[in-house]
Amino acid sequence: MSFVNTLKQWDESVACFERGDSTAALETFIDIQEKNSKIFFNIGCIHLINKDLDEAEKAFDGSIGKDQHLAVAFFQRGLTFYKKERFEESFADFQNAFRELRGNQLIDYKPLGLRYKLYACEVLHNMALVNAQLGLWEKAKEHLLTALNLKTEAKLSLIDKALECLLKQKLFQPVEMSQKVLFKPNKNYVAELEKKDYLGKAKVVASIIDKDEFSGFAPLQPQVDEVPATPKVPEVMRALEGEPHTVLFEFVPETSDELAVVPGNIVFVLQKGADNWASVIFNERRGLVPYNYLERLEITLSSKQDKDETNKDDIPAPPRREPPNRPQRKSAFVPENLKTKDTANEIDESGDSSKCIVKVHFKYTIAISMTPGLAYITTLKTISNKLGVPATSITLSYSPKDSGKIIIDKDTRMEDVWSCVRNGRLTLWCDMKPDSSEQLHIQTYLVALHSYASSNPEDLEFNQGDTILLLSKVNEDWFEGECNQKIGIFPASFVEEVQMKEI
């Protein structure tokens, strides 16, 4: 069965369920040959509503078999085991659901097509109930007290009531998922199922040639008396944005607004600045590249034939083997699409020849333009402001030649640190102090709406539904983040932001 047919049946099944016809919805779901984890989950939920616990268990087994990180599937199978009075297995599933929350207070499944939020405190509530059924009242109390600490909304006051029952050694009701929600297919994919007429309706066209007996899609065209001397530029080139150039030398970016290219790449120059930097577009990504690394590419049907005829005896000069010097950022030329508060400030500051670029390796790497010779306090404050962390919670270090890292503090001779500047650049390392008093801070997390496979070494790979820690915003279209212990950049349109507190 094709993906299109699966998508159609999935959409039809959800529509039947929302109309109240759960029998037709279940039959359509079961008829799908290639079921994914979400479809198995939907089948299990309908069986659970119909109180067919054995079939519900089989369906949730299939869902977990397809996706062993789907916490809500463990939660539903745990409820199924609870209703079958298989309490040990029920507790194990609730425990797995809590583990898949990965320390988060909740998982919002809306980006994945399920309008439901699974709360950690609700999972702990059910774990406490199962312990109570097993007679482990102290264990149940521990789980409820932990759930109270994770409670985020007033509507979850049922945990308070459960604790009151527990103190009297009475049982309470489990938390169950709403019976009105199922996983829905991606609405963008469903929209593509509608038939579209790309050709339009046929039109009757009369020929302007007398006694034209041509039969086909179009009449014969009249003969042209005069052929233009110079062929026209292909129309496709008029649709391209910018002027085409060939990359002559490999360019390695050193700031977030620069673009990595290698020899042979075809880039399109959008704007050239007075400082010999060019704003280019390559593979739908924009950035800055030195213009002297590029060579204009003539793409026309007439390939300089007249010049070849008049200069047949001329021998072209050999190509350059070494790349030219990297141009200095002397002006504040930044393309509009790359202008951000941070990058604009860095370019403005680096125009001063008396300053150097300081690279700071933290959880991610930043570049700051600073004046060599600054005092320790000024250097520390500048870096902490850039990172957005208090100066009292970080430690700086540097690495002189032929030696390891050396901690920088108020007793360090800053002359020794600044003497390590080479070619206008200095590398420092920044670490969080283990006894930092900043124990509670707010971080921005993102949920992947779609899977992203990296096409470049600096890209970040992730799957749909993964949680990504946002590190920085490169520009409006690209973010930098951390996922699965890897750091890289990725398209902003592939993710959705959620706010969480990390302790």
pLDDT for 217-242, tens place per residue?
554 455 555 555 555 444 444 335 57
pLDDT for the residue numbered 325 = 67
CATH architecture of 3-187: Alpha Horseshoe (1.25)
| Listed range (5-9, 38-42, 327-331, 417-421) with the worst mean pLDDT | 327-331
Mean per-residue pLDDT, 44-52: 91
How confident is the prediction for the chain on average, in pLDDT? 78
pLDDT for the residue numbered 196 = 60
**Residue 25 confidence (pLDDT) above 70:** yes
* Distance from the first to the final alpha carbon of the chain: 47
Domain segments of the chain as ranges: 3-187, 237-299+331-345, 352-432, 441-502
Q: Three-state SS for 461?
A: coil
Query: Cα–Cα–Cα angle for 475, 479, 483, nearest 5°?
Result: 170
**Residue 457 confidence (pLDDT) above 90:** no
Per-residue pLDDT band at 91 (split at 50, 70, 90): very high
Contacts of 425 (CB under 8 A, 6+ apart): 356, 357, 358, 359
- Rounded Cα distance between 28 and 50, Å, is 16
469: left (phi over 0), alpha (psi -120 to 50) or beta: beta
CATH number listed for the domain at residues 441-502: 2.30.30.40
CA distances from 297 to 246, 262, 266, 272, 460 (A): 6, 16, 8, 15, 32
242 in Cβ contact with 270 (< 8 Å): yes
**Residue 46 confidence (pLDDT) above 90:** yes
- For residue 24, which amino acid is it? A
Per-residue pLDDT band at 454 (split at 50, 70, 90): confident
Most confident of 80-94, 203-217, 430-444: 80-94
pLDDT tens, position by position, 335-372: 444 444 443 344 343 345 578 888 888 877 787 888 88
- Rounded Cα distance between 471 and 478, Å, is 12
CATH of 237-299+331-345, one of 3.40.250.10, 3.30.230.10, 3.30.420.10, 2.30.30.40: 2.30.30.40
Per-residue pLDDT band at 143 (split at 50, 70, 90): confident
Strand blocks (E) in 410-466? 425-432, 441-448
41 in Cβ contact with 70 (< 8 Å): yes
- The pLDDT > 70 percentage for the chain reads 74
- The pLDDT > 90 percentage for the chain reads 15
**Residue 158 confidence (pLDDT) above 50:** yes
On whether the 352-432 domain is CATH 3.10.20.90, my answer is yes
- Rounded Cα distance between 226 and 219, Å, is 21
**Residue 272 confidence (pLDDT) above 90:** no
pLDDT for the residue numbered 345 = 40
Domains 237-299+331-345 and 441-502 share a fold: yes
pLDDT tens, position by position, 49-72: 999 999 999 999 999 998 989 999
- Rounded Cα distance between 226 and 178, Å, is 76
Mean per-residue pLDDT, 238-265: 79
- For residue 182, which amino acid is it? L
pLDDT for the residue numbered 235 = 40
Instruction: Count each helix (H run) and each strand (E run) in the chain, helices first.
Output: 15, 17
